[in-house]
């Protein structure tokens, strides 16, 4: 599993919103749920969970999109790219859509979620697959295994 370059910048399709990560992801994921299929206009979404203190918007003002619910999905106000999500009740990390990064070489998903809703022809290189979300108690072990793999990569 190749490593992400840290620190690193990224941005939306048009470049009005730019962001910077200064901490490595605690986990990388692909989500096959039908909501992610719609919002990403594609087969699945990719995310890198970045510790909140290591995530910064450095240009532009992202706006809320998607469901406008308790989980906040942030989009570029101009090109409307879905850029990152702040999940409800989990302020300690930001789910960055991995393809926003300028260098996407280290964003392969470690875990894939909602394979129950996966398009039948899709396959990813994820090491762990879950029909829905991993149970909360699984995250400690998953994050530890991800850290070990990225450290040895």
**How many residues lie near Zn ion (CB under 5 A)?**
9
- Based on the shown chain and the rule CB under 5 A, indicate whether residue 153 belongs to the binding site for Zn ion: no
Nearest approach in angstroms of CB 145 to Zn ion is 21
Distance of closest approach, residue 64 Cβ to Zn ion, in angstroms: 15
Give the start-end residues of each E strand in the chain: 8-11, 18-21, 27-31, 45-51, 55-59, 63-65, 72-75, 82-86, 93-97, 111-113, 128-129
x/- map, 71-110, Zn ion, by CB under 5 A: -----x-xx-------------------------------
CB closer to Zn ion, 2 vs 132: 132
- Closer Cβ to Zn ion, 4 or 33, answer by number: 33
SS3 category, 53: helix
112-144 burial code (b ≥16 CB/10 A, e <16): bbbbebbeeeeebebebbbeeebeeeeeeebbe
Cα–Cα distance measured from residue 57 to residue 1, given in angstroms and rounded to the nearest whole number: 27
Cβ-based nearer residue to Zn ion, 21 or 97: 97
Tell me the C-alpha distance between 146 and 121, whole Å: 26
| Cβ nearer to Zn ion, comparing 39 with 50 | 39
Mark the segment that binds Zn ion (CB under 5 A) among 13-21, 101-109, 117-125, 130-138.
13-21
Residues forming the site for Zn ion (CB under 5 A): 12, 14, 16, 31, 33, 36, 76, 78-79
């Amino acid at each position: 599993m190749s490593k992400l370059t840290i620190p690193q910048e990224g941005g939306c399709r048009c470049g009005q919103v730019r962001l910077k990560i200064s901490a490595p992801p605690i986990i990388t994921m692909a989500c096959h749920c039908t909501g992610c299929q719609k919002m990403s206009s594609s087969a699945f979404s990719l995310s890198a969970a970045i510790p909140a203190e290591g995530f910064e918007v450095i240009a532009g003002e992202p706006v809320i999109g998607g469901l406008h619910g308790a989980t906040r999905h942030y989009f570029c106000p101009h090109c409307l790219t879905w850029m990152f999500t702040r999940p409800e009740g989990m302020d300690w990390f930001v789910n960055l859509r991995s393809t926003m990064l300028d260098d996407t070489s280290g964003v392969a998903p470690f875990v894939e979620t909602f394979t129950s809703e996966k398009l039948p022809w899709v396959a990813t290189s994820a090491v762990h697959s879950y029909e829905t979300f991993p149970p909360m108690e699984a995250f400690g072990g998953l994050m530890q295994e991800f850290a070990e793999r990225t450290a040895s990569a």
